[in-house]
Amino acid sequence: MRSIYEKVESFKIALSAIKENRTRGILTALGIIIGILAVITTMTVANGLGNNFKESISALGSDVLYVSRMPWIITGNFFEYRNRPNLTFKQSEKLERRLKSARAVNPSTSTINNVKYRSNVLEGIPVIGTTENQIVVSTSLPDFGRFLTSFDVQNKKFVCVIGTEIKDHLFKDIDPINKKMKIGRYNFRVVGIMEKQGSSGFFGGPNFDRQIFVPISTFIKAFGSRNRQFNIAVKAPSQESMQDFRYEIIGEMRKIRKLKPTEKDNFSINSMDTLMNAYNNVMGVVILIGLVVTSISLFVGGIGVMNIMFISVTERTREIGIRKALGARRRVILSQFLYEASAICLTGGLLGLIVSFGVTSLINKFVLPAAVSMPIAIIALLISILVGVLSGIIPAFRASRLNPIEALRYE
């Protein structure tokens, strides 16, 4: 009971000392405010970037493997990949026949072309030749109308499905369904509008709302397939079988490409995990550098708190002597100054947290979706308390070691 009373009394004395020197306390906490603001902003932006990146690649599908000529992330010698032969549409058809367990096989290819509706023209629009399986291997669906069908593909129909930006800029307030638009020099009938997906943001990927899907057979008829690169998306039987299914695809592709046992693969198998691992590696380094830089602010702030605590101990030397003469134990004096240092830093942490909400709101409004999460806020406050304890431990220990007789003589 006595121990609890002593702690409460020490805490009251610490708060009283801070109130008596409010201006000094706020100025001292300024370094902590800046440090906590930097820590929260760094973690929040990193979290926002991670969510933005995951959303941007979610359309790829977590259970889909992509057979491509090149790996999405080239870590070795580029010249090992540049001479690889393109994948062809015939090879995709052979792979589809061989992979009996695949839930879907979707070949695709693309080109860049100008599109036109009446007098409205858009330049440099990605036109993707694909099949009805596109919406099976992808997570995106049409918002209006329908997607391509097997009938469209088999009969080389000149139909297309457009992204929301194509609709907004080309058709404006007109309903585009069943309207004819020009892609290059060919007329295509719009049969659907894809739901809004957004772009890849900071990561330089495609804008999924600024693209057009057409049947792959029509694409080949209109734009040709010679020297054109095809990609093959294969949906695995299940998430758990991804690794085994990857080996099955490699084996079948080696047979289709007629590779000898001693020859290296001249194709790559990519997946969403490929991009996520690359992102995590890069962002891990960025976050580490950011936290090291922001920790300098906290270190400087901690030094400021330590300096003020040494001054406080010096100013209250006589008070410490009186308390010791009246029977205050060393641990009580120690805890009093630790509470004071922790309270200063916690106040700085709370003010930094409040400011960070405003900064994060601006980031969310003008840069990217971001918000201060509860775990980040709790971590920031724990860091501020830890800085207070580390900054106050030496001054508090010095105060607790003062000789009461010498302290009483101090003027």
Beta strands in 28-79 (DSSP E): 64-68
Residues 129 and 262 placed together within one structural domain of the fold? yes
CA proximity to 225, closest of 311, 366, 107: 107
Residues 231 and 101 placed together within one structural domain of the fold? yes
CA distances from residue 273 to 69, 76, 170, 279 in whole angstroms, order as listed: 18, 18, 35, 10
Residues 116 and 168 placed together within one structural domain of the fold? yes
Structural domain total, the chain? 2
CA proximity to 55, closest of 271, 369, 374, 282: 369
Q: Is residue 66 part of a domain?
A: no
Domain edge (last residue) among 243, 266, 289: 266
Residues 166 and 138 placed together within one structural domain of the fold? yes
Residues 387 and 340 placed together within one structural domain of the fold? yes
Give the position of tokens 């942490």: 349
- Does an H or E element contain 253, and which? helix 242-256
Q: Look at residue 326 and give its three-state secondary structure.
A: coil
- Residue 178 Rama label (left phi>0; alpha psi -120 to 50; beta): left
> What pLDDT, on the 0 to 100 scale, is given for residue 36?
86
* Tokens at 298, concatenated: 């906290």
- Does an H or E element contain 359, and which? helix 330-366
Residues 25 and 148 placed together within one structural domain of the fold? no
Greatest CA separation for the chain: 103
> What pLDDT, on the 0 to 100 scale, is given for residue 169?
93
Domain edge (last residue) among 205, 235, 266: 266
- How many Å apart are CA 284 and CA 295, to the nearest integer? 16
> What pLDDT, on the 0 to 100 scale, is given for residue 340?
80
- How many Å apart are CA 338 and CA 17, to the nearest integer? 12
Q: Assess contact for 165 and 212: CB atoms under 8 A.
A: no
Across the chain, which has 411 residues, the per-10-residue mean pLDDT values are 52 59 70 85 82 72 89 78 89 92 93 94 95 90 94 96 94 93 95 81 66 96 89 91 91 93 91 82 82 81 84 78 76 80 84 88 80 84 87 84 68 56
Residues 235 and 110 placed together within one structural domain of the fold? yes
pTM (2 decimals)?
0.72
> What pLDDT, on the 0 to 100 scale, is given for residue 1?
46
Residues 334 and 370 placed together within one structural domain of the fold? yes
Residues 301 and 356 placed together within one structural domain of the fold? yes
- How many Å apart are CA 306 and CA 87, to the nearest integer? 66
- How many Å apart are CA 2 and CA 9, to the nearest integer? 10
Q: Assess contact for 116 and 180: CB atoms under 8 A.
A: no
Q: Is residue 379 part of a domain?
A: yes
Domain edge (last residue) among 225, 247, 266: 266
- How many Å apart are CA 208 and CA 56, to the nearest integer? 9
Residues 215 and 104 placed together within one structural domain of the fold? yes
> What pLDDT, on the 0 to 100 scale, is given for residue 179?
95
Q: Is residue 64 part of a domain?
A: no
Residues 195 and 226 placed together within one structural domain of the fold? yes
> What pLDDT, on the 0 to 100 scale, is given for residue 72?
85
Q: Which domain holds residue 49?
A: 2-56+277-409
CA 83, 88, 91, 97 dihedral sign is positive
Q: Is residue 38 part of a domain?
A: yes
Residues 116 and 250 placed together within one structural domain of the fold? yes
Q: Is residue 235 part of a domain?
A: yes
Q: Look at residue 373 and give its three-state secondary structure.
A: coil
Q: Is residue 271 part of a domain?
A: no
> What pLDDT, on the 0 to 100 scale, is given for residue 19?
61
> What pLDDT, on the 0 to 100 scale, is given for residue 145?
94
